[in-house]
Amino acid sequence: MVKENCGVVGIYSEGDVNVIPMVIDALRALQHRGQEAWGLAIPNKAPLKRLGLVSTSSNEFKKITEEYASHSAIGHVRYSTVGKSDLESAQPLKVKDLCVAHNGTISNVEELSNLVGGCTFTPQNASDTLVAAQRLVSLITENGKLGSALSILKNEMVGSFCFTFLSDDDAVFAARDPKGFRPMVMGHKEDGNVHIVTSESSAISAIGAKLVRDVVPGELIKISKDGMETEMFSDDKNRAHCSFEFTYFAQPSSKMEGTNIYLARKRIGQFLAKKYPINDADVVIPVPDSARPAALGFAQELGIQFDEGLLKDRYSKKGPLRSFIEPHQSDRVEINRWIIPIREVIEGKHIVVIDDSLVRGTSSKAIIKALRRSGARKISMMVTYPPIKFPCYAGIDFPSQEELATFDGGKDVTDKEMIEKVRNDIGADFLGYNDAENLANAVGIPKDSMCFTCATGDYTPLGITPNFNKMKQMKSV
């Protein structure tokens, strides 16, 4: 199984403006969604791909802008786990006359590969996007249109997808999976009559455009010299918006499903404080950076002082990166070395430390150790996301069950016992998790329109019963 969690963009200027500088700006605004590689594609040319952060290639921007000058383009930032972190696996990919950029995970890639002759897939050299693109191109050949091809492909694929496509006859397309697991929005800029479709509205703001709306799950958008056209390739009304985007993954300035992420996180903190009204705490501090709004909401709700007790070393190489999406455990440990506790804020106090997730527990354990070394009298840890107990097959890289902090050797334990085990492992005096109901209420989206599979183990939104042994095998490749 290949897992990716990425950011995509497609830009078309009806006013014939060169959109490449905008694609680069948009990809920089999506950098939090993938930091291993980036790329862009224009019609009738091989895609450009680079390893690392977009800014790493800044000395090439002028040349790229000139050599790839085009009024239509798509782009991609990549985060991979099992798939190789090499240039070949970077996106966009090109199959015949179609370039493809993908955010999501296709978990039945081996089966899908059989539909295109089975020649592409090997566990060592796997690319779910390439297999899906090959299948899509063969379906377009058989059925004529991209919309008809997607309406067939959606039934063949298990997983989540937001695609941007670019055809050699100069059209940009965007498609969002029928359940809306991953986010996708569209925007417009008057100057140059520029249309943009992308993973998050942070990219729309970055190019000076205005958010128009979310792309509807099951919608296919086409932008060409004839303007914008839209059609539905699925009439599924059931939604499964990833709840983890709201607590952790998305950029705080982004707006998803009509909700601003920063405000949603602040409300999540307020709702968490109602669930755990810890009134004897001296100070509430966030784990930097994404838990900051929730910590502020928590502190304001209870009238407790909010402060920064942990800072990231902004000058370090690893400091600005996010520990969860770094692929190697050693990198995560390295990142924790760059979180600096402020003794003057911590010493002698009952600290409520707010984090947005607790996956393997590595970061939490290191942070609690750092707080103790700085003289914390008592440490209560609050996690804005419910306990993660199951792997995600819809686009977020969680490890296999065995690697999760909540895993207790496969024993049948109660939630209370599981939380006590995690509390003990990370070394906190108290550990409080959010629950799905509370989180959905805080975000303002009905719980049954959100995905909580990684917390519940209910894979109904994906229509599968996963084989965890297989997952484990694939993880160890």
Binding test (CB under 6 A) with ligand SF4, winner from 199, 205, 259, 453: 453
Residue 454 binding ligand SF4, by CB under 6 A = yes
| Run of H or E including 99 | strand 98-106
Binding test (CB under 6 A) with ligand SF4, winner from 133, 242, 376, 381: 242
In the complex, the smallest distance separating the C-beta of residue 34 from ligand SF4, rounded to whole angstroms, is 15
Binding test (CB under 6 A) with ligand SF4, winner from 38, 79, 165, 244: 244
Q: What is the rounded distance in angstroms from the CA atom of residue 106 to the CA atom of residue 115? A: 14
CA atoms within 13 A on the CB side of 386: 18
276 burial class (0-12, 13-18, 19+ CB within 10 angstroms)? middle
Binding test (CB under 6 A) with ligand SF4, winner from 396, 404, 405, 445: 396
Residues 364 and 332 sit within 8 Å (Cβ to Cβ): no
Give yes or no for a cis peptide into 97 (omega within 30° of 0).
no
> Which range, of 30-38, 66-74, 238-246, 302-310, touches ligand SF4 by CB under 6 A?
238-246
Q: Return the number of the residue (28 or 472) whose C-beta is nearest ligand SF4.
A: 472
Q: Are strands 219-224 and 227-232 parallel, antiparallel or unpaired?
A: antiparallel
Report how far apart, in Å, the C-alpha atoms of 297 and of each of 270, 293, 447, 464 are: 5, 6, 21, 37
Binding test (CB under 6 A) with ligand SF4, winner from 172, 335, 451, 471: 451
Residues touching ligand SF4, count (CB under 6 A):
12
Q: How many CB atoms lie within 10 A of CB 156?
A: 15
In the complex, the smallest distance separating the C-beta of residue 455 from ligand SF4, rounded to whole angstroms, is 7
> Which range, of 42-50, 307-315, 393-401, 432-440, touches ligand SF4 by CB under 6 A?
393-401
Residue 60 structure tokens = 């090439």
> Which range, of 240-248, 277-285, 288-296, 316-324, touches ligand SF4 by CB under 6 A?
240-248
In the complex, the smallest distance separating the C-beta of residue 5 from ligand SF4, rounded to whole angstroms, is 9
Q: Return the number of the residue (199 or 453) whose C-beta is nearest ligand SF4.
A: 453
Is 242 a catalytic site residue? no
> Which range, of 339-347, 374-382, 410-418, 450-458, touches ligand SF4 by CB under 6 A?
450-458
Q: What is the rounded distance in angstroms from the CA atom of residue 71 to the CA atom of residue 65? A: 11
Q: Return the number of the residue (183 or 427) whose C-beta is nearest ligand SF4.
A: 183
Residues 184 and 176 sit within 8 Å (Cβ to Cβ): yes
Q: How many CB atoms lie within 10 A of CB 191?
A: 10
Residue 181 binding ligand SF4, by CB under 6 A = yes
Binding test (CB under 6 A) with ligand SF4, winner from 31, 107, 205, 243: 243
Q: Return the number of the residue (252 or 466) whose C-beta is nearest ligand SF4.
A: 466
Q: Distance from first CA to last CA of the chain, Å, rounded?
A: 10
Q: Choose the catalytic residue: 6, 162, 392, 454.
A: 6
Report how far apart, in Å, the C-alpha atoms of 441 and of each of 238, 246, 265, 426, 450 are: 18, 12, 12, 28, 11
Residues with Cβ within 8 Å of 41's Cβ and at least 6 positions away in sequence, in order, are: 47, 48, 73, 74, 75, 92, 94, 99, 101, 166
> Which range, of 18-26, 218-226, 242-250, 347-355, touches ligand SF4 by CB under 6 A?
242-250
In the complex, the smallest distance separating the C-beta of residue 181 from ligand SF4, rounded to whole angstroms, is 5
Residues with Cβ within 8 Å of 45's Cβ and at least 6 positions away in sequence, in order, are: 68
Binding test (CB under 6 A) with ligand SF4, winner from 174, 268, 354, 394: 394
Q: Return the number of the residue (165 or 452) whose C-beta is nearest ligand SF4.
A: 452
Catalytic residues: 6
Q: Which residues bind ligand SF4 (CB under 6 A)?
A: 181, 242-244, 392, 394-396, 451-454
